Structure 1
């Protein structure tokens, strides 16, 4: 190598040097496991070494530190959230985001690197509108839960009817050794690495769903909304040409955008067997309450008995909660809709 190439050589060597991601040792949690997994999606950190320690001198040698060290300084790549002064949320760091749950190390890494990570996974420019859409949706539906659990934020102001013990944080926590299992540093590192693989897989699954399934469904729902008066004269029924479309959230959003909130009551579609379903539009995406449930007298009744009761041929069932029903034909399911809509006038 020529002497005047030394500067280029030094820069190349620095780029090839293995970077170090620092986090704490001992029992690990979902937030730092996911934070590390997220960073390793980025080309810069893909081959990085995970250093698990609480020794400040060792952490000082790391290129980026998450969930330990008592410092949040994005410019220095320090992302801890345990210090008393830390109160940051997505909203406080950028007011255009509404989310006000205090961030964990996963949330911090996602806030600062999330769009870059998503652009890598989706092979898009960071400025692509899809990246921004995914960035907010994946936070809302995945990262926010981790932030809330890690910071002890309850989902309800009062005691819930039951607890959920199969969430992402629980699944990652289960990789830790049990209290009565022997485990040395090497074993804990292996467990941490397995947990990262799980975290990486679940994160990618979420991104894949929202990019490849959820987002394309918006156009299908928008088209159905535009054609709703062709389905039923009331304009209160949507029809999809296939089942399984994730329509609820898109419908509520589109209603709001078009200033027709609360005007849709039912969705009809053919299932995989060619039979027809009618499903109620919920009050919101976070509740099991419907805007207008199917008639109470039909609930829990099936087949010929239901057909006789409703005076509609071809009935298959109505769920006991009244949120969904079925008929052999499109004509039959529309008759069920007609009767169900008449409930509005009686209430």
Structure 2
């Protein structure tokens, strides 16, 4: 630490990218920092003498040394991932502080800090790695990461006057940081919920009368758990806030819009009395025209819709 009362965090001045904005958010969360000028100082500079005084330095300084809290990736010999993918400052900071940042966000959300390692690993795979790839120009033909584009849009237009530009760039950087922080908070919350649901889905499946019909007491992310545990689920049944019970068809593979077993064709697009007559389920409410989801007014009705579909198709 420097002799000043507040820790000094440094990244480069001028135009910015997603990686240094993301790295700053991770450091803030992991270190318990909140407001520049309040509990820490943020300096955006390329001045070597100033950089040498920093307590935490990233994306500038041509040094990678975690023990010295230096996280640049522009120098020769900069670290790479095991498969050779180069790190950006986001990836370098994440390797050291990502799990602590996730734990802090979980703690602020009410607990479940034990999920931090799994969530941090998933975020590294699905988000941080993409930031690394894009920042280093090795993204290949894959679609660009929307977050990187949104952060890029926070930069000042080229024709902003030179007078006062540095202060305006610093303010724009903080706008980008606020955007990234919200994205990270939401991603952590989503992954926490998904991991928490995994055990509940497995337990509910074990308790379901028919292994092909997953009966849940509340709505939750369930399809990922079915794939992860290789369960023979064809339909999930669960309540929704309006009082109905959904009967939701399982896709054949992640990301697919098809179904392992669609609801019957002659139920498609029907509602209420017409659907009750066609299905033989008195409290059936609707079946989507594309046959991937339907509903009944009771749990028993939704389960019966699933059972009748399985019987109609002769699925074993």
Tell me the TM-score normalised to structure 2 length: 0.81
Q: Which has the higher contact order (CA 8 A, sep 6+)?
A: 2
Tell whether 2:14 aligns with 1:30.
Answer: no
When structure 1 is superposed on structure 2, of 183-192 and 328-337 the one drifting more is 328-337
Match of 1:201 among 182, 201, 208: 182
Q: Which residue of structure 2 aligns with residue 319 of structure 1?
A: 288
Q: CA deviation at 1:141?
A: 4.5
Match of 1:168 among 147, 158, 162: 147
Q: CA deviation at 1:224?
A: 0.3
After superposition, residues 263-282 of structure 1 pair within 5 angstroms as: 263-282=232-251
Q: Which residue of structure 2 aligns with residue 291 of structure 1?
A: 260
Give the paired residue count.
306
Tell whether 2:42 aligns with 1:73.
Answer: no
Structure 2 residue matching 1:269: 3-state secondary structure? strand
When structure 1 is superposed on structure 2, of 323-332 and 185-194 the one drifting more is 323-332
Q: Which residue of structure 2 aligns with residue 250 of structure 1?
A: 225
Deviations 1:132-173 (A, max 9, x none): 22322333454344334434455866xxxxx678x3223322
Q: Distance in 2 between matches of 1:185 and 1:177?
A: 10
Q: Distance in 1 between matches of 2:218 and 2:262?
A: 22
Q: Would the aligned equivalents of 1:19 and 1:45 in 2 still touch at CA under 8 Å?
A: no
Q: CA deviation at 1:61?
A: 3.1
Shift in CA distance, 237/26, structure 1 to aligned 2, threshold 3 Å: same
Q: Distance in 2 between matches of 1:270 and 1:345?
A: 27
Q: CA deviation at 1:220?
A: 2.0
Q: Would the aligned equivalents of 2:223 and 2:250 in 1 still touch at CA under 8 Å?
A: yes
Match of 1:240 among 216, 219, 237: 216
Q: Which residue of structure 1 aligns with residue 89 of structure 2?
A: 105
After superposition, residues 34-45 of structure 1 pair within 5 angstroms as: 34-43=22-31
Tell whether 2:304 aligns with 1:335.
Answer: yes
Q: Which residue of structure 2 aligns with residue 216 of structure 1?
A: 196
Q: Would the aligned equivalents of 1:40 and 1:48 in 2 still touch at CA under 8 Å?
A: no
Match of 1:21 among 1, 6, 9: 9
Q: CA deviation at 1:301?
A: 3.8
Q: Which residue of structure 2 aligns with residue 3 of structure 1?
A: none
Shift in CA distance, 214/78, structure 1 to aligned 2, threshold 3 Å: same
Q: CA deviation at 1:119?
A: 3.5
Q: Distance in 1 between matches of 2:161 and 2:69?
A: 34
Tell whether 2:98 aligns with 1:120.
Answer: no
Tell me the TM-score normalised to structure 1 length: 0.74
Q: CA deviation at 1:36?
A: 1.1
Q: Distance in 2 between matches of 1:301 and 1:221?
A: 30
Structure 1 residue matching 2:29: 3-state secondary structure? coil
Deviations 1:192-213 (A, max 9, x none): 12222232233233334434x3
Q: Distance in 2 between matches of 1:105 and 1:156?
A: 22
Shift in CA distance, 284/182, structure 1 to aligned 2, threshold 3 Å: farther
Q: Which residue of structure 1 aligns with residue 172 of structure 2?
A: 191
Shift in CA distance, 226/304, structure 1 to aligned 2, threshold 3 Å: same
Tell whether 2:119 aligns with 1:138.
Answer: no
Q: CA deviation at 1:304?
A: 3.6
Q: Distance in 1 between matches of 2:69 and 2:169?
A: 25
Q: Distance in 2 between matches of 1:293 and 1:156?
A: 34
Deviations 1:228-270 (A, max 9, x none): 22xx3xx111111122x122223322x2xxxxx2511110012
